[in-house]
Amino acid sequence: MPSESEFPLSSKDQLRSVELFGGAGGLALGTHQAGFRPELFVEWDRWACDTVRENQADGFEAVRGWPVMEGDVRKVDWSVIKPGLDLVSGGPPCQPFSTGGKAQAADDKRDMFPAVSHVIQTLRPRAFMLENVKGLTRSTFANYYQLILLRLRFPELVAREGEPWMEHLQRLQREGTSNHEHDLTYNVTSTVVNAADYGVPQHRHRVFIVGFRSDISAPWSLPAPTHSHDALLESQWVTGEYWDEHELASKHRPAKPARFANRIAAIAAGDVAPVGIRWRTVRDALRGMPEPKASGVKGWHNHLLKEGARVYPGHTGSPLDQPSKALKAGGHGVPGGENMLRRVDGTVRYYSVREAARIQTFPDEYELHGAWGEAMRQLGNAVPMKLASTIAESVADHLRAAQLRDVEFAFELTEAALTV
């Protein structure tokens, strides 16, 4: 798990960023680890802001110096940010597009994509990185999703007063894709990822929207997955390395999954070659942790046992030897019982906040503010830090490479001028 030593405080190579809808800080911690320095951290929720502020007070160095602004991103005075910003990042509220909500999209007052587009128009960052639920890409939202992408691509083509969003979309399609040149445009890429494919011990499907300003020569694509299900199947049911690593005797292992029998046989026969590292499981994530207790565990933050977990149809918990189901921001974590684990013998219990933080790849030293339900809500809304850092590192690499190319080109022009 990440430790504070993995979070450099300052570096001449650090890039400047602004974090929107910062929540408990998962995305911001990931971008910080990738080399960005948040110059403003904006979040409207007091509990989430308190989480960041209390970690600052406790001396967690990664968040030291983050200017936390508690409030609405639409009311921020952006003149406090100097020109030349490298990145705007954030996770706009997902409720307008979540399968667990009313899915009202543009008709939901919590839709903050117009606000994001305004911030990008105002700050003109070299790049942006946004995260949201997979539901945003559902066919139900196809037109509105297209509007979001076009609005991010052409942030200066704002909606006119009283203009319905479908008319705005048609105007963007007409004017944005014409030969008319716009002062501010972005090359935008959107991709759905499963966090488990990048080393997060959790099935969490999310859409990432990444854009580079058109004057930045930085052709970007999502980093290739590093982990795979096939590699997990091989380590569990072909070589047995997984069980050996966890020192689990046969009687303590689950039954071989019948639905993957053919796949396991193909791997064993050499017909399928697993790619990458094995998916990380709940058991991997919780390794080295003591069982939570109602009174807490000495030396462990947020590691209290919450009683009352139970199984019922559609609420069965996350198997220990698979990546966790996606943590949810509700009390039970419904649908599916995502906020509790299921042992090999079928018994269940809720994750402690600390265990859920491990599953979201937060450092053990990072405390979550509030009672169990409130802390779980923050974690359920968070971006896994490891996933954030993986994508942010790729963005940072492309920005630095583009900057280096610009410097080299300027040097060549100067050299050519001197030889004339």
- The average confidence (pLDDT) of the chain is 88
- What is the arithmetic mean of pLDDT over 375-402? 95
**Among candidate residues 131, 122, 149, the one with its CA nearest the CA of residue 31:** 131
210 shares a domain with 143: yes
**Mode of pairing for the β-strands spanning 227-228 and 277-278:** parallel
In a domain, 415, yes or no: no
**Helix H or strand E encompassing 113:** helix 113-123
Instruction: Select, from the ranges 100-104, 232-236, 313-317, the one with the highest average predicted confidence (pLDDT).
Output: 232-236
Report, as residue numbers or ranges, the catalytic residues: 94
- For 135-176, how does the pLDDT look when each residue is reduced to its tens digit (9 = 90+)? 888 888 889 999 999 999 999 999 899 898 889 999 999 887
Domain shared by 207 and 248, yes or no: no
What is the CATH number for 340?
3.90.120
pLDDT at 218: 83
Q: Do β-strands 205-213 and 127-133 pair in parallel, antiparallel, or remain unpaired? A: antiparallel
pLDDT tens-digit map of 190-218? 999 999 999 999 999 999 999 999 999 88
Q: Are residues 219 and 263 in the same domain?
A: no
Q: Is there a contact between 284 and 196 (Cβ–Cβ < 8 Å)?
A: no
Do the domain assignments include residue 396? yes
Number of domains forming the structure of the chain: 2
Find out whether 403 and 111 touch, Cβ atoms under 8 Å.
no
Same domain, 376 and 395: no
Are residues 348 and 402 both part of a single domain?
no
Domain around 300: 227-381
User: Does residue 31 sit within a domain?
Assistant: yes
Per-residue model confidence (pLDDT) at position 407? 60
Question: What was the pLDDT predicted at 406?
Answer: 62
Strand order, beta sheet including 348-350:
318-319, 340-342, 348-350
Is 413 part of a structural domain of the chain?
no
Looking at the domain assignment, is residue 270 inside a domain? yes
Pairing verdict, β 205-213 and 186-194: antiparallel
Residue 419 lies in a domain: no
Residues 96 and 159 in one domain: yes
What's this model's pTM, rounded to 2 decimal places?
A: 0.89
Alpha carbon distance 168, 183 (integer Å): 19
Based on the fold, state whether residues 84 and 139 are members of the same structural domain.
yes
Q: Residue 93: give its domain's CATH number.
A: 3.40.50.150
**Position 308 in a domain:** yes
Q: Tens digit of pLDDT for each residue in 38-89?
A: 999 999 999 999 999 999 999 999 999 999 999 999 999 999 999 999 999 9
In a shared domain, residues 210 and 234: no
Structural domain includes residue 414: no
Asked if residue 340 and residue 191 are part of one domain, the reply reads no
